[in-house]
Structure formats: C-alpha cells, structure tokens
Structure 1
Amino acid sequence: MATLLAWKDILRPIRDGYRHFFPAPDTGPSPEERRKRREQDQLKGFTYFDTFEQLESWDATKVDLLQRANTPLLPRPAYAGVEALPKANVLLCHDYAGNYHDYESVQQMGLEDEIYACEYLQFVAILVYFSHKLVCVPPPTWTNTLHRNGVKSLGTILVEPQTKDTERLLQRTGANGSVTFGLARQLGNIAKYHGFDGFIVNIEKPFAKDEWDAHTLEAFLLQLKQELGDDRELIWYDALTVGNEVRYQNGLNLNNLPFARACGRLLTNYCWTEDQARDSVQIAAEYSMPLENVFFGIDVWAQNSTAFTHPRTTYPRLGGGGTNTGIAVAKLAELGLSAGVFAPAWSYEHFPGRGKEIERVMWEGEALPSDIYCSCGNPIFRHKTSGGCICPHSRLAPAGSETFFFTDFARAIASHSGDEREKVYSGHTRHSQIGSQAPLPLPSPLPSADEGRRPQLIHCFGGPAEEPSKVVISYRGCPANTFTRSEEMSFSIALYRFAMPADYSLRLTIKYQCLRKDIIDVTPSLYLEFTGHRQSLLLSSHESEGIHTIETRLGASSSAADTMARFEELGVDLQGFHGTGTVAILEIYSIGIAPEVHHNNPHQHSIQGIHIVHHGEGETRHVRLRWEHAENYERSVRDVPHSDVTGSFSHFIVRMDGMQIGRAYTREYILSSQLAEALADQEVEVEIIGVGFDGQTLACQKTTLGMGSG
C-alpha cells in the first residue's frame, strides 16, 4: 500500500495540463520485466496489452477463466418520477495510482485500511477503468460489482506519445467501400469475451502526416462501435482533432464532432468554461447528438496546490474539483449535459488513512474534518467546501431492474474471524472483495440544521466478523429536554428507490432482526411506497431471538392488478421511541425481489469434481482449486440474471479446513502461497457452496483432498 500511495503526486488522470513537461521516452520497466509482470497479473484476473503485437495475438482459447467477468449487466429501468433539481448522468474515470492493484485481484487479500471501492454506484452510470496501457480491460472484480449495481464497465484504448507502431491501429483490408479493420473486430471480441461494456478511445499522439485521413479513423470507430453491438458503449476522448493535432477542445465542436458522432459519446477535457459548455449544447442540438451523451470532464485533483507556474484548473476555476466537484456536476445538470469525474479515488490518494471521510465530503456534503493533513499544507483552506457535493446533482438510478433486485449488503472491504486473519490474510484485520459489493442503501441523511432538537434514523454497516453482512438501522437522538413525548415520535429513512411494476407479479423477501425487544413501545416497520399509495409492513419487536423472514407480493391495492402502478421506494419507519444518544433498532440482512414464477420454478443444480491442480512454472507456480457445476432445469424466467460463464450461479463460497478463504466467480480459485504452504502434504476438507443471483444456496459439495507438495 505504501508503494501505491508513493505515486499519488506522479500519476494523474488521463490528462493533466503538464504532460508535455515530461520526457516522452518510455523509461519504465524493461520488456522482459513487463512480460513477467503481465504473466503474474493474469493470475490475478487482470488483462491488458502493452503492445500491438500482444493485442493482435489475443486468442479467446488461451484466456484463463479467472480473467472473465461472470455477472451480467443488470439493466436499469427508467425513473418516471419528477426530480426537484436537474440531474446529470455521471461517468467515473477511475485512475488510481496506475491501477491494476493487488487488492483488485480475483483472490481476496488482507488489508489494514479501507481502500477505494466507490459506494455511490447508484449515482453512477458508467465507470471507465484507466491505466497507462495500450489497451486495458477492467478487472473482472470491478465489472462484476458494477454489473450487479447496473453500472456499465468500460476499458481504455490509449495511444500516448511514447506508443510505438501506432499505424497498426488503423491497418485495414479491402477497398472501394468495403474496408475492414482487423483490430476493430479484435477489440469487439475482447469486450464480449471478457464480459465488459466497451471502451473509451484516447489518442494522445498524432498519426504520421503522410498517412493521416480523418475519414479512416472515423471508419475505424464506426466499425468498432458495430463490433461492440448495441448494448455496449464507445466514447471518444477530447484529445486528437480532425486536423491530426492533440489539442484539447474542452467541449463539443467541429474539431471533434465526427469522432464523437462515430462513437456515439464524447468525454471532454476538464478545463472548460460555462461558455464552452453552452456552445456545446448548441452544436449537439444542431447535429442531433443527445446532450446526455456529452460528458464534460471534471478534474478532482485541480483543487490541490501545485508547484507549476500555471495551476491545474477545472470548473469552477477557483476552488473547483476535490471537495467541490459537485459544483461542476450541478452546472452540467442545469445545462442538460453529463459529467465525467476524473480520478474519484483522489480522497484515498491525497488523504492516506482518511479517504473514507473525505469521500463522504465529496459525495454527501459532510463537514470537512478539522484534523486532516495533506501535502497541500493547509487543507482546511485549500479544500474548503462550498456546498459542492456530488449526490444532490447526480441522477439517482432505481435499484435493480424492472423485475429483479437482491442485496446482502456486502461491501468491497470486509472483516473476518481470527483464524482467517492469521492463516489466510497474513494477520490483517480486513480483506478485499471488490467483486462482491452488493447494491448499498442510499446515504444516511446528514444532520439537519435543527439537529439539536429533532431526532432521526440513520444506517450503518457493521457487526462482528463472523456474522453475515448487514445494515443496521439506528435512532439518533438529541440532547435531553429538547424533544419530548408530546411531540410526534415518528421517523423514517429511505433505503432504496425502485421503478418496478406493482401488479402482484413480484415477491419481496426480507431477512431481519429487531434489536430492542426490551422496549415495549418501539414499533419498527418497513414502508413500501407505490404510485400514490403507501403500505407498511409491521416488524414485531417482540418475536423470538434470531433472524426472521417477511414476504409479500408487491401490489398497490387489494383490487385487480393495476398495470400502471409502480413500486417506487422502500424504507424503515419507527414510532414510539424517544431518547438521547444513538440506539440500534433493527438489523436487515438481505432484501430480494424476483418474479413470483421464479420461486415456483424447480431448480436442480450440482457441484462435483473438486480437485487440486498445481499450475504454472517458476514465479507463476501456484496451487488452485477446480470444480465443475451443472444445472438441469428449463430457464423459463428470463427476468432473473443468468451468466454465460457460471449459469445460475452468482458465485461460489470456498471453504477449506473450516475457514472461508474466499469467493470465486468462476469454477476455479487460486490459493494464497501462505495457505498452500501451511496445508502442504495434509488431508484437508474442502467445501464449495454455489450461490444464486438471488442469494439462495443452489448447491453444496464437500470432499477431502490431499494437498500434496507440488
């Protein structure tokens, strides 16, 4: 982790206004060092291409199963409600100190501190995974989590000043209107096979003058868009112009319009002004380009101090970016444009050990902590907030799809028991599981201006490491003598917004536990918000100990099914409680919504053939578990996720020697060298548990294996 953070002042987003100050020659690792690193990274599930030769030689038959994402994109429904404020679609360009970090691996690893994972995905439409590679594929861990949350996962095609053989990008065959670009087809196949949703194209180097033809590049982009298909995205980055110059336009204009239209979307550089944004609105209207397809860049790092003569700038010029990133998002929402946030992990890079707190400042508008430190020297002044957080101005997507939703509140960073800490995670108290993050609730409301008088409900994640993941609903009281029982004692907190039919075709299932059974007058309930109607599901606080399940079919009335009614929101109500301090009231372990017919559809699944494989040579020598899975049923319900890689299985829980060592998203899992060495030459019980996309256990198999010594 220390190595990762050491780069925080060197590596920046796609464009930082000073790249021309640095030498173009590649002074990084040697080709042999890069080859070894790439082989090791492939075992972590990473796929990227440093050269055109590597890209051209890609072959699906040689791809390790670990390198494929298995979770299909959950299609987001359109929200039909009326927004109080204009909202912008948000794209995140994730450039975190070079990326492809060990914590993003398909194998879980131990961590001491929280690290970037983005818990605001309901406010995000697209995440672009960026690294300084010719072509980078998002790690399958990121794609799995993004797809589970309805977010599109994009890779990057990047041509930099030091990139060699750039003419190979546009090599083609045929003539007279039937030209074919081999790499366009190759890139389309890579996206489909690895399971992600397209690319951003960033050309930061002019092509040779004697070979330049803007129409050729436009034709390449059109074919690549076609190869990706209608469900995937292609975005043009505002660098190369039709005149074959790297000149950032900071808007949509005639210098980048042909490439933007060929791709279908544009991400601009981040030094724009309001006038440039307004001019882009006119150009988009004139050439029939949807405004929401024009993303204006915002440089989060622009709020930092800099030693250069010309400081980094973004909108607004004074104080923009950082903790005020939302000011630019609000302006773009006002104009009907979309926002592209560069380097959203800034809070973790710039404030080591305090990233989570600063991320809440950026997104939710929490107060800036008074005791923070950063390299700017005066963080309270430099990062002073001006009411510019992101969430209020970002388009909040409904959770789930039209007909399916499931969450077990799993976060990307989790804790574990003592045995696992010592034997699996090298003594660390946390571990990464980037690919496991479930749809998380809406942020808790911030204390209002009258917080000294008015209590409220809040939520948080927590609990001992050995317990299931959960969300805890708590009552946050106010000082004594400021709130009395004579006042209305009813509080609510929204957890999720939906856009689902309320015609009784869907079943809602919730697992929960009430905590304050000792307080007789506490009455927690779930509320279901329908079109013009609200229902309550009372949760008895005096039931027996343990986790309980409540089920109901989603309908707006007791009469015949209303095809126009919609299920719009789910939350928690609390009545009959008052007091000071913070008191935990309710734990919710999972929420699921699926078609009624899905519950009645018989499933027959199995796991078999669990065995140990000693794989690779030299530095890539390792031990992995393998197994097979099968299902025998007619898939009659098309509205429930189903994987091209793992079928009905969302993931597999892997247990060895009585410990949960990880989650696998394919039928293989690599053991850490620490665990493999500890279990060498032993007979070990291995258990593989197959879990469906609705959280149900579909199959389980135990066996005892001789580990051997390899």
Structure 2
Amino acid sequence: MPSTGDFVYISTMLELADWRPEDVKIQASKVSNTPLLHRPPPPPTSPLPTHPRTTTLPPPIPNLLSCHDYKGGYHPSESAQGQFPAPSGPIYTAAHLHVIDTFVYFSHSLVSIPPGPWINTLHRNGVRVLGTFIVEHDAGSAALSRLLDKGSEGEYMFATQLALIAETYGFDGWLMNIEASFPAEGFRPSELQAFLKELRSAVAELVPGGQVIWYDALTVLNQVHWQNGLTLLNAPFFGVTGGLFTNYRWREPQLEATRLMANYMGRVPDIYTGIDCFGRGSLGDGGFGVGKALSAIRKAGTSAALFAPGWTYEHFDGRNFDSVDRKFWVGDGGDIESNPVKPVSHFVSEKACGGSEFFFTNFNRGFGKGWWVDGIKVMNTPWVHIGAQSILPSKNPRNTDKLKWSFNDGTAYFGGTSLDISAAAGPVAGGVAFCPLYSTAITANESSIRVAYFLPERSPTEVLEGEVVGVYYTSNTAQTQTLLPLPQTPGAWKVITFATITADPNEKITELGIYYRHSPAVTALGFKVLTLGYLHISPIPILPERPSRITDVVSASEEEGGSTKLSWKAYKHDFSPAMEKLRSLPGCFSRKTGDFASFLVWRGGGLVGVSYCLEYDVPAGVAVGDWRVDGVMWGGGIVRGSGGR
C-alpha cells in the first residue's frame, strides 16, 4: 500500500488490485478508531418562544455535503499523530460541523483515503466521511480499462477492493468522480451501472450507513460532458448509487428541470446540487455569495454540495481565518434577516449535537498553545491534531446578546481550549441572561449532567447582588428553561454532577447552555462570569474509575538505526451492568480501542503526544525509555497506565 509519511493513498490500478486489509497492520495510526455517532432526529419543537422570521421561507435544505479540496489534500496538520510541537500560524479546521451531513476528502490521487484524524473528528460530530475515486484526463482512460475487471467468481474485483478499504480504514463510502472516457471498444453503460450497483451493495454490507455518490461528469455516451444537473445522460448512474453530486455551472431553469426529474424518480433529496466556493461559474460567484445559490437550491428542495469550502482560508492566506470562516458558515453575529449576505447555516436544516443518550465536549479545537490534563498544564508548546477536535458550540453568539461565549486557549481542563462565558455591559431584562451553546435531542430521563468549570476571581466591588451562574437546558415538555445553579466559589477548577435531572421518559433536552442571574436593580459592567472545561450528559451518574486495564508499554525498533514504535493493549476490567450499559451507547465504545477514545503518551513525566490507536511512532529526536500511556475515556475520564519496558 503506498504511503507517504503519515498518509495513505493509491495512485494506480495495480496498487489498488494489490491492496490487502492486512496492510494496515503496519499503519494502525492511519486507521480511524471513532465510530460514526448517529445524530438523533431533529429536536422536537420546544414550546419556548423563538426569534420570529419576518418572511415565510421554503423548508431548509435537507442535506449538506462538504467536499474538502483544501490545497490539494494531505497536509502535515492532518497527519496521523498530529504535530507536537507544531509550527506557528493559523490552522485550517472545520469548526462548524453541525451544519454538515457528509464530508468528502478530495485529492487528485486515484484513490483518496481520508486521514484518520479527519475521520475521528467528523464521526465524533455525527458527520459521514467519504473517500474519493477519481480518474482524470487522458491518463484516466488507462485506469478505466481495468475498472470493470472481474474476479474468479464473476465479482467486480475493484468494487470489492474499494468497499474493503472503506471498512478497513473506518470511513463511510465513496464519491465516484470519473472525468475521463472508457476505452471506446466495448463500452456499455449497463456494465458500469452493474459495477456501481455492486459497489453500493458491498459498501452497505461492510459499512453501516455507508454511501456511494456519483459525480456529474461521465455520461452514458462515454463522454465527459458535465450536465450541471440530472438529465437522461446521467440518470442511469444516479439510479444505482446513493446520490448525484452535480457540477456547479447550473442556473435556476436547469435546477428546476433537475427537481422535476428527481421528483419523478422519488429522490429529490438525493440530488446534491454543486456550488464551487471559488466561484468558477457558480451562481453567486462563490465566497460569501454562496447564499444566492443556496437560496435557489432551497426553493428547489434538493440537497447541496459545497466544493472547496477551504476558500475561507486559501483566499485570504489564513488571515483572520476564524472570523472569515464564522461569517461564511454561521454569520458574523449581526441580524441575518436584514443582511443580504447570508451564511450557509441560514439555508440548511438544524442538526442535533451529540447522540440520543450521550453527549460530551471539552471544547478542544484540534490545536492549541499548550496541553492541560485535569486543569493542570502539562505541555507548553503549540500543537496540532485534527483528530482531537471535540463537539464545538452550534449556537453562534449575536452582537445583541447579553451573555456570549468565546474560546480561551490560555487555559483548559483537558486539551488546549476552554470556553469563556462573558456578560455584556448594561442591564439584563429580569436580571437573567442566557447563553445558548448547543441544539440537542438527548433523552433527559435518568440522565446526569456533569460540568467542569471555574469562576474567575473578582474584587468585592465587581461581585453583584444576587449573582448566580449555572447550566440551563430547555426541553420539549417544559414551558421554561430548567436552571441548574453551580456552586459559586471562585478560583479553581471544580467538577459537579447534576444527577437524574428528570423522571419523564418522553422529555428530550433540546438546548443546552449557561445562564447568569443578578439583581435586576444592578447594572452589569461587562466581565467574564465563567470558564467551562467540559460538559457531559450520560445515563450513568458515576463513571467507573477503571473500566479497562492498560498493559505495560512495549518499545521496539522497527529496524537497525530506524524509528521506534511503542505498543500496548487495553483489556476490559469492569463488567458491571452500568459499564456494559455505557459501552452499548453509540459513540462510547470502539472496536479498535475499546473504552478509550484516545491515549496520552508520556515520557519521564512529560507529555510527548496523543494516539488514537494502540501504538505510537516515536518522533525523531525523542529519547527512548521511561514510557507510560494513559487512556482517555469517551466521557473524558482518564485511566492511568503502567510504565514501559
């Protein structure tokens, strides 16, 4: 299997034919360990008042696909073990995953296998991940001459290979992008249809929830002729796959024709109408103008596909990336209704964060200026690990909000980031302000909420009369927010659990956030009221301290004078009913790493790196010896490992 440093991809059909699942034994760090978290159905309507719209809009776009074409793919920041330490400068990440349903990793290699860190973060956030099979130009015809080869039992051997690759590396299917013609002799569209049908079936069998999407390029006439929609020339290929990703040079009459034809086939949401974020002929010219195309797509009722949303980084060379990316995806905090430039989130359906019974976030962004464990700083250097990104807030602060959140990279409870909650200057109606963080659809019955937080030290003159800060949630059954006040002692990290928050089996938590209250007679002056380290919702009120045991670390040199590989194993230790229930919850157990979401790799008391498998390749220049590995549970608890040998 070809491998360049930390990445695995395939460049030729011969390499694809020779690939075997056993190849990953020497590439464990490149395999995802995080199962796809299936998002629960959209939150039931809450009786709480919402911000009214001034206009009546069509239903939101049902599904949004993001095709990652960031600078051609496979960058050091996406490497399997991250970068510890990392170079300075902004890092491209996907911070607004709550609006995305499917993520395609795209490069110009024949077979693009998504890097493990991307798969882990996307799965943690409930986003399906596809690799890309692409053939281009005249050179692609040579590859296509073999694509329909059959094995000894009449199976399409490359359909089998592609399905096995997705299963082995832990992603969810393929975008099939054929931008070349098959050799003219003997081409039959029905043969390609049969191949695609078998590929779709094989992926569905091996990958739960797997998907195969066809790109609008090759037609049944064996010509690369982009249709910019669904037509008789590409419908046969759409008919045997899970979706059609259309080319992006469509206009509204073509989109309406696509809708009519897809409606006849009963598959309007399976059309992913393409938009190029760099423009290049797209309606609205890309960039912040994608809203024009998304508005037309919403009227038509199809799904949408954004190609190269890395525009938010590339077009500006990374300058002000956070604010540019936020404006593109969720807005800049202003009034969206009155602003002609509308963000992506305005057009798509709102997704629930977390699972139906389990939710955990430590606000990690996938990079940081240091690393903290239980609120203690254990590493002082910048780092990057795309796979460490947690579930980030889905509720974006508005400029008029009295209580707002912001990321804090100067301290954390675990990882590199915490969340600051700050009160704006000026009076608050009723003395209570709310800071929404997440839309959820979590079963509230018998659930517990666990919070890590600290209150900042303030002078006596800054402490307001009747001041209280706490967690709140809304539900589909309550007429008001449920308030859970936190102990108000400032100055140090605390962890508190609110056990069994409701006994109603039908109640769902639909929104989760922070509230702040003070006497209505007092005017707040604008200051930080709380720093959050993590939020955790689980039906298990007390987590077992040692659910699994981690063996000693074994150190072995791969070859004389070569690199050193560490390895260890994790065995189940706690078989109590509570622990077995936790393991049964989606997103709380891995076939690869069991009870642990990740591992901290220590040498001599200092943190060296993070692993998402049962091994670690020691970076060059790091001395060998005195190793320890600690396991990090899916709910944030840490199990200390023993030493190494």
Aligned AA (2:618): L
SS at match of 2:29: helix
**Aligned twin of 1:50:** 11
SS of alignment partner, residue 245 of structure 1: coil
Distance 1:609 1:471, change over 3 A: closer
1:444 lines up with 2:412 in the alignment: no
Q: 1:407 aligns with which of 346, 361, 376?
A: 361
How far is 1:329 from its partner?
2.3
- Mapped to 1, the partners of 2:120 and 2:112 lie a distance apart of 16
Aligned to 2:185: 210
Separation (CA, whole Å) in 2 of partners of 1:604 and 1:416: 28
Instruction: Kindly indicate whether the alpha-carbon contact (under 8 Å) linking 1:112 and 1:429 is maintained by their aligned counterparts in 2.
Output: no
Task: Say which of 555, 565, 584 aligns to 1:612.
Answer: 555
CA distance in structure 1 between the aligned counterparts of 2:262 and 2:154, rounded to whole angstroms: 29
In 2: Cα distance, 1:592 partner to 1:180 partner: 47
User: Cα 1:544–1:582, aligned 2, differ >3 Å: closer, same or farther?
Assistant: closer
RMSD: 2.6
2:129 matches 1:153: yes
Shift in Å, 1:465:
5.6
Q: Relative to structure 1, is the Cα distance of residues 526 and 609 closer, same or farther in structure 2, using a 3 angstrom cutoff?
A: closer
* 2:88 aligned with 1:115: no
C-alpha spacing 1:607/1:650, structure 2 compared with 1 (3 Å): same
Residue by residue, what CA displacement relative to the aligned partner does 1:623-654 show, whole Å, maximum 9, x if unpaired? 22222221134434411421111111111011
In the alignment, the residues of structure 1 paired with residue 395 and residue 121 of structure 2 have an alpha-carbon distance, to the nearest angstrom, of 18
Rate the CA distance shift 1:579–1:113 in 2: closer, same or farther, 3 A. Answer: farther
In the alignment, what sits opposite 2:604?
657
Conserved in 2, the CA contact under 8 Å of 1:87 and 1:394? yes
Task: Give the secondary-structure state (helix, strand or coil) at the position aligned to 1:477.
Answer: strand
Hey, what does 2:171 align to over in structure 1? 196
Any conservation in 2 of the 1:509–1:549 contact (CA below 8 Å)? Answer: yes
Give the equivalent residue in structure 2 for 1:76.
39
Who is 2:149 aligned against? 171
- Counterpart-to-counterpart distance in 1, 2:501 and 2:439: 14
Question: What's the secondary structure of 1:128's corresponding residue?
Answer: strand
Moved more, 387-396 or 509-518: 509-518
Q: Structure 1 residues 484, 262: closer, same or farther in 2, change over 3 A?
A: closer
1:340 deviates by: 0.5
In structure 2, do the counterparts of structure 1 residues 472 and 584 end up closer, same or farther at CA, with 3 Å as the change threshold?
farther
User: 1:526 aligns to what SS in structure 2?
Assistant: strand
Change in 2 beyond 3 A, CA 1:545/1:361: closer
Counterpart of 1:700 in structure 2: which amino acid? G
In 1, distance between residues paired with 2:574 and 2:20? 32
Please give the alpha-carbon distance, in whole angstroms, between the structure 1 residues aligned to 2:340 and 2:357.
40
Asked if residue 342 in structure 1 is aligned to residue 317 in structure 2, the reply is no
Q: What letter matches 1:692 in structure 2?
A: M
- Give distance in 1, aligned partners of 2:589 and 2:174: 24
- TM-score of the aligned structures, taking structure 1 as reference length: 0.80
Distance in 2 (CA, whole Å) between partners of 1:359 and 1:347 is 5
Q: Percent identity?
A: 29
1:298 to 261, 275, 280: 275
Stretches of structure 2 that go unaligned for 5 or more consecutive residues are: 373-377
Structure 2 match to 1:103: 77
Q: Which residue of 1 aligns with 2:236?
A: 258
Q: Secondary structure of 1:702's match? A: coil
Answering whether residue 76 of structure 2 is matched by residue 124 of structure 1, we say no
> The residue matched to 1:157 in structure 2 has which SS?
strand
- Aligned counterpart in structure 2 of residue 625 of structure 1, from 566, 569, 583: 566
Say whether residues 1:457 and 2:403 are aligned partners. yes
Instruction: Report if aligned partners of 2:36, 2:127 keep a CA contact under 8 Å in 1.
Output: yes
- Given candidates 611, 615, 639, the residue that maps to 1:668 is 615
Residues of 1 paired with 2:482 and 2:301: CA distance?
A: 35
In structure 2, the residue corresponding to 1:180 is in which secondary structure?
coil
Task: State the Cα deviation string for residues 370-416 of structure 1 (Å, max 9, x = none).
Answer: xxxxxxxxxxxxxxx94131122222211111111111111111112
Which residue is equivalent to 1:700? 641
SS of corresponding position for 1:248? coil
Gapped regions of structure 1 (runs ≥ 5) = 1-34, 303-311, 369-384, 419-423, 449-454, 556-560, 706-710
Supply the AA of the counterpart residue of 2:341.
G
TM alignment of 1:492-511, pairs within 5 A = 492-504=434-446, 506-511=447-452
Match of 2:155 among 180, 184, 188: 180
Where does structure 1 differ by over 6 angstroms across 4 or more consecutive aligned residues?
none
Question: Number of paired residues?
Answer: 600
Separation of aligned partners in 2, 1:80 and 1:662: 38
Q: What do the CA deviations read for 1:662-681 (whole angstroms, capped 9, x no partner)?
A: 11011111122132xxx26x
Report deviation, 1:173.
Answer: 4.7
Can you list the C-alpha shifts for 1:320-340, whole angstroms capped at 9, x where unaligned?
Answer: 311222332233223221111
Q: 1:602 and 1:572, CA in 2 relative to 1: closer, same or farther beyond 3 A?
A: closer
* TM-aligned CA distance change 1:444 to 1:214, over 3 Å: same
Answer yes or no: is 1:540 the counterpart of 2:496.
no
Q: Compute the displacement of 1:611 (Å).
A: 2.2
| Distance in 2, Cα, partners of 1:440 & 1:286 | 39
| Equivalent residues of 1:603, 1:632 under 8 A apart | yes
Does the aligned pair in 2 maintain the 1:508–1:592 contact within 8 Å? yes
Cα deviation for residue 66 of structure 1 reads 1.5
Q: Is the counterpart of residue 531 in structure 1 residue 531 in structure 2?
A: no
2:375 is matched with none
- Equivalent of 1:325, from 282, 285, 290? 290
* Residue equivalent to 1:573: 515
Instruction: Please give the secondary structure, in 1, of the residue aligned with 2:643.
Output: strand
Tell me if structure 2 keeps the 8 A contact 1:295–1:338.
Answer: yes
Aligned residue identity for 2:343: C
1:326–1:391 Cα contact (<8 Å) kept: no
* Per-residue Cα deviation, 1:84-136 (whole angstroms, up to 9, x for no partner): 75322211100111111111011221121121111001111010000001111
Whether the aligned pair in 2 keeps the contact of 1:690 and 1:699 (CA below 8 Å) is: yes
Give the TM-score normalised by structure 2. 0.87
For residue 92 of structure 1, what is the aligned residue in structure 2? 66
Query: SS in structure 1 opposite 2:568?
Result: strand
Q: Secondary structure at the match of 2:537?
A: strand
| 8 Å CA contact 2:333, 2:397 repeated in 1 | no
Q: Give the direction of change, closer, same or farther, for the CA distance of 1:466–1:473 in structure 2 (3 Å limit).
A: closer
Asked whether the equivalents of residues 225 and 263 of structure 1 are also in contact (C-alpha less than 8 Å), the reply is yes
Q: Structure 1 stretch 161-170 or stretch 151-160: which is displaced more?
A: 161-170
Conserved in 2, the CA contact under 8 Å of 1:87 and 1:330? Answer: no
Cα deviation code 1:265-322 (max 9, x no counterpart): 1111111111222211111111121x222111111111xxxxxxxxx21123xxx311
* Aligned with 1:244 (options 222, 236, 243): 222
Q: Is the 8 A contact 1:652 1:688 kept in 2?
A: yes
Q: Distance in 2 between matches of 1:121 and 1:100?
A: 20
Instruction: State the 1:181 CA deviation.
Output: 0.3
In the aligned structure 2, how far is the partner of 1:605 from the partner of 1:179? 45
1:103–1:159 Cα change, 3 Å? same
Secondary structure of the 2:607 match is strand
